Chain A
Amino acid sequence: MQLTEKLLNFYRENDSEIEEKMDLLHEKYKDRVDPWGLNIESLHRSIRFLLPIYKKYFSVQVFGEENIPKDESFIAVANHSGQIPIDGMLIVASFIMGLDDPIILRAMGERFIFKLPLLGKLANESGTVLGDRKNCRFLLENDESILVFPEGTKGISKPTHKFYQLQEFTQGFYRLALEHNKTILPISVVGAEEFYPYVYHNDKIAKFFKTPAFPITPLFPLAGLFGAIPMPSQVKIYIGEPVKPNLNLSPTSERDSIKIEVDKIKKSIQDSIDEIRAKDTK
């Protein structure tokens, strides 16, 4: 009873804020039919469901909003962590709920998600798009901002001893930034690795279930789906300073030249993560 009352109170307090943001998004996206099925009504429902989790369960804190480019679309590049892509949802929610002028970041999702009934549909309706270079191109050409995780599944499915160690970044996002002359916005997420503090990965089980990874925690799969509920770890999202692509390079430049630039972005994200964690430890 107490929990229901708390939830109702939470909605009473936050409903006007959600409505206000959604009105702005409705205005921005009216008359637009999205090829992937982005649906503001459905996004509204998702945000309403997610907000208590966002604000109370994960107590998300966002820093560096002033770094978000105004009046131009951009490529947001974030570290991926937490075994399940909750970090992506929290970043997308922060760009809607945390900004005066909300932005729907079009997150690039893993192919596997879109095969799943209902989940794939919900992901699409909330703005997630299959992570494919053609899709990114289309979105950038249409002035939409995208969110990419260049570590891919290697980033999200790290075992405990690799927590907060950024994995190799793919180069696609940088080539796209060059191709469309878009600003890159580095985003560092801290706190998501603690959703499941102890994780072991078994590739054979993942292969058997045809999933990109299969995390085993002290509670999952032992306690079933209940064991998959993430721990209430506080999440900090730091939006770094925007980076302009090096226009001396071209989208078809050699891998080594692109890698130098990509590694600079990776380092800036890693540095921010280390800095936030160091402050937290103090």
Chain B
Amino acid sequence: MKSKILLIGASGGLAQITSRLILKHKNKVDIFAIDTRSEKYTINNKRYCFEKVAYKRSSFERIFQANTFDAVIFLSRSALSSRDSNLVKQRHMFNIRGTQTILDLCSHFGVKKIVIMSSFHSYGALSDNPAFLSEDDILRASERYPEIRDLVEMDQNCLNWMHTNASQTKTVLLRPVNIIGPNLSNGITKYLTHPFSFYPIDYNPSVQFIHEYDMANILVQSLFNDYHGLFNVAPNNYLSLKDAILTVNPKAIPMLVSALGGVNKLFQRYTGVPDYLVEYLKYPCLLSNKKFNTFYGDDTFKFTTKSALKSLRLKNIRRILQPEA
């Protein structure tokens, strides 16, 4: 039987890989992809349809009324990082209200499955974090970084929604650690691949990384398996931040974190590395993958941390997602 998926946030690198994986391995699945941005690389497939939309209630209502979706993959999140009150408000509106609208519509139109991607950032990088935070640990990001409080709120709203609608909709809420890959342009990938990348000399927390392909694979598994619940997504291995940065850029420059914050502020327009990310270079935020491994198996990750990092060395040379001929 044919099924239809709504993919929200379809222009991102991760969404593109996920779409291609679904189209390749699931013959009877159509994808309706939306984003506020234009499509970066066109996917030429009859079963794939992309539409650029404004994230407004009316746009979503129109889409839900015109289509019958069996599942929704929600990857969209505004990543504007600023303490500017207007931008914080804008991001808050987008992330909180936008998410709530989609969840309301899913519940109204009886969507059977939703996969939502949150982030490990919601736990917060704090000096007194124990190693290996589990799904039950408190989300403390807003204690220190008001600019990402919407992420915590969005995560919690999704969690509440998941429990309230458990009888009708199977929901998978994922909190992945740093996702990196040559096709992504998130903060950590930008930081690692910046030609003038720095590593802190006064802090050296352990960090976890997931390769973009592994994450896309996990999204597909979450969608087509009968999973329901909240999962930390983290590989079994981790390494020190210094080792990670030097793996990508052996010429990275050592610097005090206090100076790094200032330097980052100065060049933020060019680097695109958000302020709060600097805190994640100071303090640990390692996630436990016990629950994840129980459901998904411990052989889910095809890329080791080192090989995921090494793939970033290719970033400016070759991208996997070339426009199709």
Residues of A within 8 A of B (CB): 33-37, 39, 111, 114-115, 117-118, 120-121, 124-125, 129-130, 132-135, 138
Residues of B within 8 A of A (CB): 127-132, 201-206, 237-240, 256-258, 283-284, 286
Cα–Cα distance between A98 and B257 once the two chains are bound (Å) = 37
Cβ–Cβ contact A117 & B202, under 8 A: yes
Cβ–Cβ contact A121 & B130, under 8 A: no
Cα–Cα distance between A33 and B286 once the two chains are bound (Å) = 13
Q: Which residue of B lies closest to A139 (CB)?
A: B131
Cβ–Cβ contact A37 & B240, under 8 A: yes
Cα–Cα distance between A129 and B204 once the two chains are bound (Å) = 14
Cβ–Cβ contact A35 & B284, under 8 A: yes
A33-B206, A33-B237, A37-B205 in contact; A117/B256 too (CB < 8 A)?
yes
Cβ–Cβ contact A115 & B240, under 8 A: no
Cβ–Cβ contact A118 & B202, under 8 A: yes
- In the complex, chain B residues whose CB is within 8 Å of the CB of A114: 127-128, 283
> Can you name 28 A-B pairs with beta carbons within 8 Å?
A33-B206, A33-B237, A33-B239, A33-B240, A34-B206, A35-B132, A35-B206, A35-B286, A36-B284, A37-B204, A37-B206, A39-B240, A111-B127, A111-B128, A114-B127, A114-B283, A117-B202, A117-B203, A117-B256, A117-B257, A118-B201, A120-B127, A121-B202, A124-B204, A125-B204, A129-B131, A132-B130, A138-B132
Q: Which of A36, A39, A115, A117 contacts B131 (CB 8 A)?
A: A36
- Min CB–CB distance A224 → chain B (angstroms): 22
Cα–Cα distance between A35 and B256 once the two chains are bound (Å) = 22
- In the complex, chain A residues whose CB is within 8 Å of the CB of B204: 37, 121, 124-125
| 3 nearest A-B residue pairs (beta carbon) | A117-B202, A134-B130, A132-B130
- Min CB–CB distance B258 → chain A (angstroms): 7
Q: Which of A37, A118, A130 contacts B130 (CB 8 A)?
A: A130
Cα–Cα distance between A125 and B204 once the two chains are bound (Å) = 9
Cα–Cα distance between A37 and B131 once the two chains are bound (Å) = 11
- In the complex, chain B residues whose CB is within 8 Å of the CB of A35: 131-132, 206, 238, 284, 286
- In the complex, chain B residues whose CB is within 8 Å of the CB of A34: 206
Cβ–Cβ contact B205 & A135, under 8 A: no
- In the complex, chain A residues whose CB is within 8 Å of the CB of B202: 117-118, 121
Instruction: Supply 14 further A-B pairs (C-beta < 8 A) apart from A33-B237, A117-B203.
Output: A33-B239, A35-B132, A35-B284, A36-B131, A111-B127, A111-B128, A117-B256, A120-B203, A124-B204, A125-B204, A129-B131, A133-B130, A135-B130, A138-B132
Cα–Cα distance between A129 and B257 once the two chains are bound (Å) = 21
- In the complex, chain B residues whose CB is within 8 Å of the CB of A124: 204
Cα–Cα distance between A121 and B238 once the two chains are bound (Å) = 17
- Min CB–CB distance A141 → chain B (angstroms): 11
Cα–Cα distance between A125 and B240 once the two chains are bound (Å) = 11
Q: Which residue of B lies closest to A33 (CB)?
A: B239
Q: Most chain-B CB neighbours within 10 Å: which of A129, A132, A134? A: A134
Cα–Cα distance between A118 and B238 once the two chains are bound (Å) = 21
Cα–Cα distance between A90 and B154 once the two chains are bound (Å) = 48
Cα–Cα distance between A34 and B204 once the two chains are bound (Å) = 12
Cα–Cα distance between A221 and B191 once the two chains are bound (Å) = 42
Cβ–Cβ contact B127 & A134, under 8 A: no
Cβ–Cβ contact A33 & B238, under 8 A: yes
- In the complex, chain B residues whose CB is within 8 Å of the CB of A130: 127-130
Cα–Cα distance between A33 and B305 once the two chains are bound (Å) = 12
Cα–Cα distance between A36 and B237 once the two chains are bound (Å) = 13
- In the complex, chain A residues whose CB is within 8 Å of the CB of B284: 35-36
Q: Which residue of A lies closest to B241 (CB)?
A: A37
Cα–Cα distance between A190 and B131 once the two chains are bound (Å) = 33
- Min CB–CB distance B160 → chain A (angstroms): 25
Q: Which residue of B lies closest to A129 (CB)?
A: B131
- In the complex, chain A residues whose CB is within 8 Å of the CB of B127: 111, 114-115, 120, 130
- In the complex, chain B residues whose CB is within 8 Å of the CB of A33: 206, 237-240
- In the complex, chain B residues whose CB is within 8 Å of the CB of A37: 204-206, 240
Cα–Cα distance between A121 and B206 once the two chains are bound (Å) = 11
A35-B286, A37-B240, A121-B204 in contact; A135/B131 too (CB < 8 A)?
yes
Q: Which residue of A lies closest to B283 (CB)?
A: A114
Q: Which residue of A lies closest to B206 (CB)?
A: A35
Q: Most chain-B CB neighbours within 10 Å: which of A35, A124, A138? A: A35
Cα–Cα distance between A227 and B92 once the two chains are bound (Å) = 51
- In the complex, chain A residues whose CB is within 8 Å of the CB of B283: 114
A130-B130, A132-B128, A135-B130 in contact; A36/B206 too (CB < 8 A)?
yes
- Min CB–CB distance A87 → chain B (angstroms): 22
- In the complex, chain A residues whose CB is within 8 Å of the CB of B237: 33
- In the complex, chain B residues whose CB is within 8 Å of the CB of A121: 202-204
- In the complex, chain A residues whose CB is within 8 Å of the CB of B256: 117
Cα–Cα distance between A229 and B270 once the two chains are bound (Å) = 47
- Min CB–CB distance B163 → chain A (angstroms): 25
Q: Which residue of B lies closest to A35 (CB)?
A: B131
- In the complex, chain B residues whose CB is within 8 Å of the CB of A120: 127, 203
